[in-house]
Chains A and B, each alone.
Chain A
Amino acid sequence: MIYTAESVEQLTENFAQLPGIGRKTAHRLALFVVKMNREDVVALAKALVSVKDKVRYCSICSNITESDPCCICTNAKRDRSVICVVEEPTDVLALEKTNEFKGLYHVLGGALSPLDGVGPEDLRIKELLKRLSGAGIEEIILALNPDVEGEATTLYLSKLLKPLGMKVTRIARGLPVGTDLEYADEATLSRALEGRIAI
């Protein structure tokens, strides 16, 4: 039985499709929309449609963008000899926030996860290899998540890329800044020891 208006129920259903939103939260959000000004609601609706209409994947790096190629791929100031390989567009955002990396990106669209049925053919690996066949790439940085799926993808890519003769590196793994050594587990600590650097 519907206890509220049908349109509120419909909006609740729509919100509940979003990741991490249960029915109760969806209902709360729908009621919040009821209380919003009409202009704000129209702006929200326009923003949703605009995202769907304008945003696409960059044909070079597969990052999300409104203009194809994306602003990173077309930026003449970026270092075109280095490509950083990441899993998702959110990883590009995280790396850009550091202001440390000035090269180009390649978004794979996930990581190898045979246990979930995700194989190499489900990732944008062919596109990466095609990109590398062009001249001028000197280094590939593998910046994948430090979990089993990320590790499997890193090892798989390194097997594919090393024979191509370019420098293949990976980002460091180990202890996060601000944690206590005594609470770190064996696996994390041993990786931190392996990746130690001279100072």
Chain B
Amino acid sequence: MLTKTDAIVLKGMKYRDTSKIVTFYTRRFGKLKGVAKGARQMKSKFGAALEPMTNVALVLYRKEHRDLQLVSQCDIIKPYKKIHSEFDRMTAAMSVLELVNQLTHDEEENAALYSLLLGTLDELERASRRFVNLVYAFQIRLAGLFGFEPSLDQCGSCGRRVDEFAGEGSAVFQLSKGAIVCPRCAPQQAQHAYEREFCRAPSSSRGRRSEQTKSNAKISVQTLRVLQRLFRAKLDSVSALEYSKATGNEIDATLRLYLRQHFEDLKPLKSLEIHNRMANRDSVA
């Protein structure tokens, strides 16, 4: 059936001599793959519409239970010119696309994720600096959309707010629960975990203690505050967030551990690695 939907092009691969298989994230059907016949020919009707990081109006012959749909027409809605012409913006946008491509399955509709992806690309096109903030904001919001919303405002044990334990040192981020534990409760929590593992649990499960320890990450109050804003603030204000390099490294590591905890199959994001490597190189130069 001929169907229309808005979409964002995630990736494309060469198919036969002149065609392309393109992966889209669509508003109506989630992720889907389509064949665009003749797309690589010089006079192709698709032009630049099938390039990744483009927002398009897609028309396709869609059949249910078919892995590969047939693309009939594809017109550009937003070409994201700046994203396509500046390396830092491009690698930031690619890491967002890479994450969506890795974590979504074919034809699972998620309109909220589509809006988040579109909004993030819009902001990456508009922002003038700190593009990586938008990547981190996207990561943490995406975790929320998949049901792993972290609770970053108060201690998960005693309920004290972050401001109340700001002067007491580092807190602990429980990756599996997505909760923080204040510096005062952290030793008690560790003791409870120890007792659960070694005093009550059967001996066969004791070997898992090291994994339990790995599922907690130390986190500074400064990093917590930035994470809160990355999660709650409007997307258009995220790129203005300033923080130290050490905090940036901590955010990067914490989010990587958090996503890996909840999405076991997640591979390291190559685009983000390249983005950070070049950003570090520029800051040294």
CA distance A179 to B46 in the complex (A): 13
The one of B16, B45, B95, B285 that contacts A20, using a Cβ cutoff of 8 Å: B16
Pick the contact of A156: B10, B87, B95 (CB < 8 A): B87
Complex contacts, A152 vs chain B, CB 8 Å: 87, 90-91, 94
Nearest Cβ in chain A — how far from B198, in angstroms?
42
Known: A114-B98, A155-B86. A184 touches B17 (CB 8 A): no
Closest to B49 in A: A185
Report the count of interface residues on A (CB-CB < 8 A). Answer: 27
A115/B98 in contact, CB under 8 A: yes
What sequence of 0s and 1s flags, for each residue 165-177 of chain A, a beta carbon within 8 Å of any chain B beta carbon? 0000000000010
A window 110-160: CB within 8 A of B: 112, 114-120, 147-148, 151-152, 155-156, 159
Provide the bound-state CA to CA distance between A152 and B282, in Å. 17
Name the residue of chain B whose CB is nearest to the CB of A145.
B40
State in angstroms the CA–CA spacing of A176 and B274 once bound together: 32
**Contact B95 A187, beta carbon cutoff 8 Å:** no
Residues of the B chain whose Cβ atoms lie less than 8 Å from the Cβ of A179: 42-43
Tell me if B47 and A188 are in contact (CB < 8 A): yes
User: What residues of A have a CB within 8 angstroms of the CB of B12 in the complex?
Assistant: 147
Question: What 0/1 readout, one digit per residue, does chain B (91-114) give for beta carbons within 8 Å of chain A?
Answer: 100110110010000000000000
B130 contacts the other chain (Cβ, under 8 Å)? Answer: no
Is B85 positioned at the interface, with any CB of A under 8 Å from its CB?
A: yes
- Is B94 a contact partner of A115 (Cβ separation < 8 A)? yes
Distance (whole angstroms) from the CB of A72 to the closest CB of chain B: 26
> Which B residues between 8 and 66 are near A, CB-CB below 8 angstroms?
10-13, 16-17, 42-43, 45-49, 51-54
- B250 in the interface (beta carbon within 8 A): no
Residues of A within 8 A of B49 (CB): 185, 187
Contact indicator A183/B84 (Cβ below 8 Å): no
Known contacts A115-B11, A183-B45, A190-B79; decide if A151 and B91 are in contact (CB<8 Å).
no
B47 CB contact (under 8 Å) in A20, A155, A187: A187
Q: Which residues of A contact B45 (CB under 8 A)?
A: 183
Q: How distant is the Cα of A176 from the Cα of B79 in the complex, in angstroms?
A: 19
B252 at interface, CB cutoff 8 A: no
Q: B51 touching A115 by the CB < 8 A rule?
A: no
Partner of B274, one of A120, A147, A178, A186: A120
**B57 CB to closest chain A CB, in angstroms?**
12
Which residues of the other chain, B, contact A185 by a CB distance below 8 angstroms?
46-49, 75-76, 79
| Interface presence of B271 (CB below 8 A) | yes
Expressed in whole angstroms, the minimum distance between the Cβ of A26 and any Cβ of chain B is 14
**Chain B min CB distance to A24 (Å):** 14
Chain A residues near B81 (CB, 8 Å)?
Answer: 187, 190
Q: Which A residues are in CB contact (< 8 Å) with B278?
A: 156, 159
Q: How far is the CA of A184 from the CA of B47 in the complex (A)?
A: 7
Chain B positions within 8 Å of A114 at CB level: 91, 94-95, 98, 269-271, 273-274
Complex: chain B residue closest to A154, CB-CB? B87
- Max chain B Cβ within 10 angstroms of own Cβ: one of A118, A155, A159: A155
Contact at B273–A151, with CB atoms within 8 Å? Answer: no
B66 to chain A, nearest CB (A): 18
A187 to chain B, nearest CB (A): 4
Q: A152-B90, A186-B76, A187-B54 are in contact. Are A116 and B43 (CB under 8 A)?
A: no
Q: Is the CB of B51 within 8 A of A148?
A: yes
Closest partner residue, chain A, to B78 (CB atom) = A186
**A contacts, CB < 8 Å to B:** 20, 112, 114-120, 147-148, 151-152, 155-156, 159, 163, 176, 178-179, 183-188, 190
Known contacts A115-B271, A152-B87, A187-B79; 17 further A-B pairs (Cβ under 8 A): A114-B91, A114-B94, A114-B98, A115-B11, A115-B98, A116-B11, A148-B52, A155-B86, A163-B285, A176-B42, A184-B47, A185-B47, A185-B48, A185-B49, A187-B48, A187-B51, A188-B48
